[in-house]
């Protein structure tokens, strides 16, 4: 299948008829020349529809920015990059199907994307068996474990373990010893709790209860009287996105914030925008990126300016920024490797030090986890300069392998 | 669990009742439509969601929660009337499956329309200023707004009861749900009755959306889980039975709340278990007429 | 032909279709992956088509609307995956185990549910289906919980000594196709048997059917189990196709999809569910590429069908065709 630019139907007709034979019999040299002018195809499955569509569409915007930049700079050997965005609908089955489509029909060179633990694991499973490079841009602990991981798996996003740990290291010494967790009952939530508890050992933290709520619950009121009765110093909301928004809102209504400090592992920029200042007032949490970093990090300033210019003054969200970084990092690796084959690109990425948007990062050798800084922010409710100004940066934890789970623990034989 | 006190149980009960209030309202609308039109309204969750969006919109427009409380059910009810007249009505006499499927398709369209109109992330909401804060019930503090929810539901259901039991129109509705043929023969335009009942049912769904809006995130997908829950309530109470809908709504709320206390991760499952048990013991639901639907 | 009375023509014509319908369907499905935009979609349609056919046995032919069929599909998927990962069973043994387990779950749910009727039957199946969902959701060590089951790799994808490459999409299609073909043949035989007549009479008039001396409860349970076996097989095939099992496989929304596919294609027709699955998935696939508002597109088309083509696509075609044949017969 050399002519992957023609329409699928046409391609099939060609392949079936005499024309197919003619193409197959064409001189080898001309086909090689043709391949060099072909675009580099990057598959980008992400949930354009569904609960995280706002975040996903921001991912796409930022990814397109990275692609435009690369093409404007001349591409790779004159080859331009083409981004093939596919809607996985936040459904792992759909994500698997779309990944198969990208690999089998579109013949993409590599894949970047995803926005949930379950979809990234299913995309990874498909890529792993077909030896296609996949750079995941959403959080999960499982993808780093030897069971799921492969040489072609890269993880650009933070891990829940590291994020929770960073928030714990910042908040636990400040607000008291007794903790209650309100946790979404799925792997991601459990991973967060594990991260908090691990980091909490050093401070002698005491877990009063780990209350697990159904994933995607709209009402949390039924969990709150017990939390009130337990009288903890700190309440940790180990949930994500809309679950976090709903629980934060109801905690505010029940007046719990007056009695305890509320913290969350991940404060989403988009969820804060959707939820408003009141619900998140005073809540402290972690994030992989906040545009306000531009005051101290030059690469963040550069990235923000480019994004603002391209999208009418808007600033990139945390997950959006990951779309940018995920694409830029594979493109840089292609340049350096002077090749698009998965093994060559992976080998370069393993050695790369890069700074695209948040300071220096690199991929840990054993599990290809991007080792990066973690930002601790607090939601603002007064003194906002404009609608983008929603968080106050409290601290930035420097990148360190020691904050990740060890390679041994993940089941990797140390390479 | 040593820390569980009697006060906590009472507080948990109150939380359950507040939750149940919304369930009851949704189920009343669903049950009304089913009892009268034998239409299983799969767009009920979508009407709830549209109610929440319009509620927030009217709140922004008029600046008053109370105006919004009047305008929202009228607007959602009007959408309901249009849907009945042009989409559901052509399907009467074709069996129960077709309206069910039509309203399912309708819910997709409604969800997408709200995404287009109000954005993917939804809109921020907050409790109206008059109802902010908590009150001390003697057993612990409880949000004022949730108390208001219980009272508002009681008022709405009371008004509906008066309308159906004490007015001429209510009489026609009651008769119509028992035997539409006879009502037609008596010279009543039954199609108009159906139209109005559908309008009332969807208006109540919209109203419950508005009432729920300050307590949760308002987004286009918010009606999807609500639909399943309100079906559970309706079926537990007995399809088409209004007292059943109210009792089952509160029951489901309390069961959910108590499970949340003792086995939180099974809270969602608990209401399905409740439904399975009720139906296996009493196949027509708590208040349902045996033999209805089959 | 000339000797045949006119009144015999219709039964003869339908008998002709009945006799060859499996062959016609299979021939179509043979060339199907070649006309689809990509093989993974063709495989999805093949699998969901079978799922809808299994569901149609209960819904279209017996008149029982279940909202819990995702349970069988999902159990088929999960068990197939689990026995491959945990016990290293060969892929075709795994399919057998997955299908059998789905049948077993069907027996339990069916036993409980057939005591209720009408909309209550739908709701009991929904509730029991949700219980299965939570059981698998919570059994994280076995199922992967919300993350789904991963790692279903078939190293040795061959049979009778022939080695095949499961990563080749066309090979995968035709191998799984063999199972679908066998299942369709089985369904066709069931429908053509006296038992097939009994279940259709349950749909038409349950009371009269019982009065004729048939054990209605037993017939319902039997068809429920058969239906769950077919759906379980579809699930098992999907586990091999995707090499993962998402938790959504057990969700009630997937049960809802079966209803939609049946109605879109034409309930109570042999090939209708397949057409419905095909149109539904193809439409969604195409609409998704053009617009992020695919839900609106799908919703509108759905409403148009309910309003103007209530027999479904295939049902409408068959109806028109039969009407023409009858008309032609009368003219002669």
Instruction: State chain A's mean pLDDT as an integer.
Output: 90
Residues of chain A contacting B123 with CB distance shorter than 8 Å: 274
Q: Residue C87 domain-assigned? A: yes
CA-wise closest residue to B214 among B56, B17, B102, B39: B56
β-strands A110-113, A133-136 pairing: parallel
Cβ-based contacts of C134 with chain A (< 8 Å): none
Domain hosting C69: range is 6-331
Q: How many inter-chain contacts (A to C, CB under 8 Å) are there?
A: 101
- Asked if residue C271 has pLDDT above 60, the reply is yes
Using one digit for the tens of pLDDT, what is the confidence trace for A273-319?
888 898 999 999 999 999 999 999 999 999 999 999 999 999 999 99
Q: Do A218 and B226 touch (CB under 8 A)?
A: yes
pLDDT attached to residue B292: 38
For residue C57, the 8-state DSSP code is I
Contact A178, A149 (CB under 8 A): no
d(CA C326, CA A10): 41
Q: What is the pLDDT of residue C331?
A: 53
A chain contacts of residue C282, beta-carbon cutoff 8 Å: none
CA nearest A117 in C: which residue?
C147
Round to whole Å and give the CA distance between B217 and B219: 6
Run of H or E residues at B205: helix B190-212
Residues near B277 by beta carbon (within 8 Å), at least 6 away in sequence = none
Question: Tokens in use for C209?
Answer: 């059917």
**Average of per-residue pLDDT values in chain B:** 90
Both tokens assigned to A355 = 């700074």
Using one digit for the tens of pLDDT, what is the confidence trace for B164-211?
889 988 888 888 777 878 888 888 888 888 999 999 999 999 999 999
Range name among A96-105, B70-79, C171-180, C258-267 with the lowest pLDDT average: C258-267
Least confident of A145-154, A208-217, C224-233, C256-265: C256-265
Element (H, E) at B126: none
Out of A389-403, B17-31, B265-279, least confident range:
B265-279
Is pLDDT of A401 > 50? yes
Q: Comparing A16-30, B43-57, C73-87, which segment has the lowest mean pLDDT?
A: A16-30
CA of residue C32 relative to chain centroid, distance: 17
The first and second tokens of residue B177, run together, are 């749900």
- Chain A residues in contact with C235 by the CB 8 A cut-off are none
Secondary structure (H, E, C), chain A: CCCCCCCHHHHHHHHHCHHHHHHHHCCHHHHHHHHHHCCEEEEEEECCCCCCHHHHHHHHHHHHHHHHHHHHCCCECCECEEEEEEECCCCHHHHHHHHHHHHHHCCCCEEEECCCHHHHHHHHHHHHHCCCEEEECCCCCHHHCCCCCCCCEEECCCCHHHHHHHHHHHHHHHHCCEEEEEEECCHHHHHHHHHHHHHHHHHCCEEEEEEEECCCCCCCHHHHHHHHHHCCCEEEEECCCHHHHHHHHHHHHCCHHHCCEEEEEECCHHHHHHHCHHHHCCCEEEECCCHHHHHCCHHHHHHHHHHHHHCCCCCCCHHHHHHHHHHHHHHHHHHHHCCCCHHHHHHHHHHCEECCCCCCEEECCCCCEEECCEEEEEECCCCCCCCCCCEEEEEEECCCHHHCCCHHHHCCCCC
pLDDT(B139) > 90: no
Q: Mean of the pLDDT values across residues C105-116?
A: 94
Span A127-173, pLDDT tens digits: 999 999 999 999 999 999 999 999 999 999 999 999 999 999 999 99
| Total domains in the fold of chain C | 1
The pLDDT of residue A51: 84
* Residues 92-151 in C contacting B (C-alpha not used; CB under 8 Å): 112, 115-121, 123-124, 126-128, 130-131, 134, 138
Q: Which residue of B has its CA nearest to A276?
A: B124
Q: Do A97 and C242 touch (CB under 8 A)?
A: yes
Q: State the pLDDT confidence band at C81, using cuts at 50, 70 and 90.
A: very high
Give the Cα separation of A109 and A130 in Å (integer).
Answer: 12
The per-residue pLDDT for B83 is: 96
Task: Give buried/exposed letters for B48-63 (b at 16+ CB in 10 A, else e).
Answer: bbbbbbbbbbbbeeee
**Structural domain containing residue B112:** 6-281
Q: In what order do the strands lie in the sheet with A40-46?
A: A81-87, A40-46, A110-113, A133-136, A153-155
- Separation of alpha carbons B88 and A150, rounded Å: 53
Instruction: Look at residue C14 in the predicted model and tell me its pLDDT.
Output: 57
Gap between the Cα atoms of C61 and C83, Å rounded:
33
Q: Which residues of A touch B7 (CB under 8 A)?
A: 229
Q: Hey, which chains touch A, using 3+ CB pairs under 8 Å?
A: B, C
The answer to whether B240 and B98 are in contact (CB under 8 A) is no
Give the H/E segment covering residue B82.
helix B65-83
Segment (H or E) for C158: strand C158-159
Chain A nearest C-alpha distance from C307 (Å): 27
Which residues have a Cβ under 8 Å from the Cβ of C231 and sit 6 or more positions away?
Answer: C50, C51, C54, C55, C69, C72, C73, C76, C102, C258
Q: How many structural domains compose chain B?
A: 1
Cβ neighbour number for residue C134 with a 10 Å cutoff: 18
Structure tokens that stand for B209 in this block = 């959306």
Sequence-separated (6 or more) residues with CB below 8 Å from residue A316: A58, A61, A62, A289, A291, A303, A304, A307, A324
User: Is B290 near chain C, with CB under 8 Å?
Assistant: no
The closest of A310, A240, A250 to A55, measured between CA atoms, is A240
Nearest-CA neighbor of B119 among B217, B238, B208?
A: B217
Residue A6, pLDDT score: 39
Q: Dihedrals φ, ψ of C268, to 5°?
A: 75, 10
Shortest CB distance from B222 goes to which of A213, A218, A223? A218
Q: Please state whether beta strands A353-354 and A361-363 pair in parallel, antiparallel, or not at all (unpaired).
A: antiparallel
**What's the CATH number where C198 sits?**
1.10.3470
CA angle A167, A172, A175 (to 5 degrees): 120
> Nearest CB to A242: which of B219, B264, B267?
B219
pLDDT tens string A336-354: 999 999 999 999 999 999 9
* Test mutation, A230, A253, A268, chain B, max B CBs within 10 A: A253
Contact A282, A252 (CB under 8 A): no
What is the arithmetic mean of pLDDT over C180-187? 94
Nearest Cα neighbor of A161 from A124, A119, A198, A215 is A198
Is B1 part of a structural domain of the chain?
no
Residue A242 has pLDDT above 50, yes or no: yes
**Which pLDDT value is given to residue A16?**
39
In a domain, B50, yes or no: yes
Q: Retrieve residue C280's tokens.
A: 């539904």
- Let me know the angle formed at the C-alpha of A388 by A382 and A391, rounded to the nearest 5 degrees: 55
| β partners of residue A362 | A353, A371
Residue A286, both tokens: 């972690």
**Residue C162, SS3?**
strand
Residue B282 DSSP one-character state: S
C238 SS3 class: helix
pLDDT score of A29: 44
Give me the CATH number covering residue B253.
1.10.3470
Q: Shortest CB distance from A92 goes to which of C38, C244, C292?
A: C244
Domain contains C1: no
Measure the CA–CA gap between A391 and A379, rounded to whole angstroms: 5
- Taken in order of first residue, the domains within chain A and their CATH numbers are 39-158+304-372 (3.40.50.2300), 161-287+373-403 (3.40.50.2300)
Of the partner residues B112, B266, B268, the one whose CB lies closest to the CB of residue C299: B112
The shortest CB-CB distance from B15 to any of A222, A275, A279 is to: A222
pTM: 0.90
Q: Is residue C137 part of a domain?
A: yes
Q: Which residues from B are below 8 Å from A225, CB to CB?
A: 8, 11-12, 15, 140, 261
Please state, in angstroms and rounded to a whole number, the distance separating the CA atoms of residues A389 and A61: 20
For residue A244, what pLDDT is reported? 93
* pLDDT bracket for residue B217 (50, 70, 90): confident
Instruction: Using a pLDDT cut of 90, give the percent of chain A over it.
Output: 83
Q: In whole numbers, what is the pLDDT of chain C averaged over residues?
A: 88
């Amino acid at each position: 299948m050399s002519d992957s630019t023609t329409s699928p139907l046409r391609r099939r007709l060609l392949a079936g008829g005499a024309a197919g034979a003619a193409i197959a019999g064409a001189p080898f040299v001309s086909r090689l020349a043709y391949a060099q002018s072909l675009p580099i195809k990057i598959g980008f499955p992400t949930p354009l529809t569904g609960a995280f569509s706002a975040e996903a569409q921001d991912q796409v915007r930022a990814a397109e920015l990275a692609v435009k930049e690369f093409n404007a700079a001349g591409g790779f050997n004159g080859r331009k990059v083409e981004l093939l965005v596919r809607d996985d609908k936040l459904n792992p089955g759909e994500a698997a199907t779309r990944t198969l489509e990208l690999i089998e029909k579109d013949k993409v060179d590599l894949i970047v994307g995803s926005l949930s633990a379950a979809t990234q694991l299913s995309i990874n499973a498909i890529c792993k068996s077909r030896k296609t490079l996949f750079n995941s841009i959403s959080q999960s602990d499982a993808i780093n474990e030897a069971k799921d991981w492969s040489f072609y798996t890269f993880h650009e996003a933070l891990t829940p373990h590291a994020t929770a740990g960073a928030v714990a290291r910042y908040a636990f010494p400040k607000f008291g010893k007794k903790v209650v967790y309100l946790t979404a009952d799925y792997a991601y939530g459990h991973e967060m709790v594990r991260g908090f508890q691990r980091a909490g050992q050093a401070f002698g933290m005491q877990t009063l209860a780990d209350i697990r709520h159904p994933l995607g619950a709209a009402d949390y009121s039924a969990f709150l009287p017990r939390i009130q009765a337990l009288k903890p110093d700190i309440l940790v909301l180990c949930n994500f996105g809309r679950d976090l928004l709903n629980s934060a809102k109801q905690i505010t209504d029940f007046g719990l914030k007056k009695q305890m400090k509320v913290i969350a592992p991940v404060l989403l920029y988009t969820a804060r925008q959707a939820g408003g200042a009141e619900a998140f007032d005073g809540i402290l949490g972690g994030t992989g990126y906040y545009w306000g970093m531009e005051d101290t990090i030059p690469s963040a300033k550069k990235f923000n300016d480019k994004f603002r210019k391209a999208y009418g003054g808007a600033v990139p969200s945390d997950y959006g920024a990951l779309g940018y970084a995920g694409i830029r990092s594979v493109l840089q690796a292609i340049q350096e490797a002077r090749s698009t084959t998965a093994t060559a690109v992976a080998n370069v990425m393993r050695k790369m030090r890069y700074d695209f948007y948040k300071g220096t990062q690199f991929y840990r050798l054993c599990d290809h986890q991007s080792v990066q800084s973690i930002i601790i922010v607090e939601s603002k409710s007064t003194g906002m300069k404009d609608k983008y100004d929603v968080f106050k940066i409290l601290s930035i934890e420097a990148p360190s392998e020691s904050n990740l789970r060890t390679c041994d623990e993940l089941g990797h034989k140390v390479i | 669990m040593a820390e569980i006190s009697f006060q906590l149980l009472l507080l948990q009960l109150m939380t359950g009742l507040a939750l149940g209030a919304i369930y009851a309202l949704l189920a009343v609308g669903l049950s009304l439509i089913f009892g009268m039109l034998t239409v299983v309204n799969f767009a009920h969750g979508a009407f709830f969601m549209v109610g929440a969006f319009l509620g927030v919109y009217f709140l922004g427009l008029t600046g008053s929660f109370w105006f919004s409380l009047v305008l929202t059910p009228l607007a959602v009810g009007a959408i309901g009337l249009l849907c009945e007249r042009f989409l559901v009505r052509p399907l009467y006499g074709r069996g129960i499956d077709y309206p069910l499927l039509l309203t399912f398709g309708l819910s997709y369209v409604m969800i997408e329309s709200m995404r287009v109109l109000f954005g993917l992330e939804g809109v921020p909401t907050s409790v109206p200023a008059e109802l902010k804060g908590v009150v001390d019930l003697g057993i612990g503090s409880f949000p004022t707004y949730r108390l208001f929810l219980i009272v508002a539901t009681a008022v709405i259901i009371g008004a509906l009861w008066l309308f159906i039991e004490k007015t001429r129109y209510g009489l026609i509705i009651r008769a119509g749900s028992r035997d539409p043929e006879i009502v037609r023969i008596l010279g009543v335009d039954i199609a108009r009755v159906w139209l109005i009942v559908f309008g009332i049912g969807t208006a109540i769904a919209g109203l419950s959306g508005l009432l729920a809006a300050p307590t949760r995130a308002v987004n286009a997908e918010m009606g999807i889980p609500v639909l399943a829950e309100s079906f559970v309530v309706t079926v537990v109470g007995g399809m088409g039975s209004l007292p059943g809908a109210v009792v089952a709504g509160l029951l489901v709320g309390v069961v959910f709340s108590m499970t949340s206390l003792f086995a939180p991760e099974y809270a969602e499952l608990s209401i399905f278990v409740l439904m399975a048990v009720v139906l296996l013991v009493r196949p027509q639901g708590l208040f349902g007429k045996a033999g209805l639907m089959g | 032909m000339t000797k045949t009375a006119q009144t015999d023509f219709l039964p003869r014509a339908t008998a002709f279709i009945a006799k060859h319908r499996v062959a016609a369907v299979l021939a179509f499905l043979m060339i199907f992956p070649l006309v689809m935009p990509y093989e993974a979609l063709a495989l999805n349609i093949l699998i969901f088509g079978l799922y809808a056919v299994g569901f149609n046995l209960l819904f279209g032919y017996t008149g029982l609307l279940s909202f819990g069929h995702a349970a069988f599909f999902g159990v088929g998927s999960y068990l197939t995956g689990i026995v491959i990962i945990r016990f290293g069973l060969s892929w075709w043994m795994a399919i057998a185990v997955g299908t059998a387990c789905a049948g077993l779950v069907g027996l339990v749910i069916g036993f409980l549910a057939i005591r209720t009727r009408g909309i209550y039957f739908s709701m009991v199946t929904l509730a029991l289906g949700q219980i299965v969902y939570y059981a698998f959701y919570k059994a994280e060590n076995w199922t992967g919980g919300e993350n789904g089951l991963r790692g279903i790799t078939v190293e040795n994808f061959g049979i009778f000594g022939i080695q095949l490459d499961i990563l080749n999409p066309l090979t995968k299609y035709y191998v799984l196709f063999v199972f679908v073909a066998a299942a369709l043949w089985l369904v066709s035989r069931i429908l053509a048997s006296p038992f097939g007549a009994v279940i259709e009479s349950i749909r038409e008039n349950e009371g009269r059917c019982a009065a004729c001396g048939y054990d209605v409860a037993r017939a319902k349970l039997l068809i429920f189990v058969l239906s769950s076996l077919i759906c379980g097989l579809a699930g098992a095939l999907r586990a091999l196709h995707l090499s993962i099992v998402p938790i959504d496989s057990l969700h009630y929304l997937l049960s809802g999809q079966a209803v939609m596919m049946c109605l879109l294609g034409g309930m109570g027709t042999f090939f209708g569910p397949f057409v419905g699955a095909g149109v539904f998935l193809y439409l969604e696939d195409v609409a998704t590429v053009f617009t992020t508002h695919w839900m609106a597109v799908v919703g509108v088309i759905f409403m148009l069908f309910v309003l103007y083509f209530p027999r479904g696509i295939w049902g409408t075609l068959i109806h028109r065709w039969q009407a023409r044949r009858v008309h032609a017969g009368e003219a002669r």
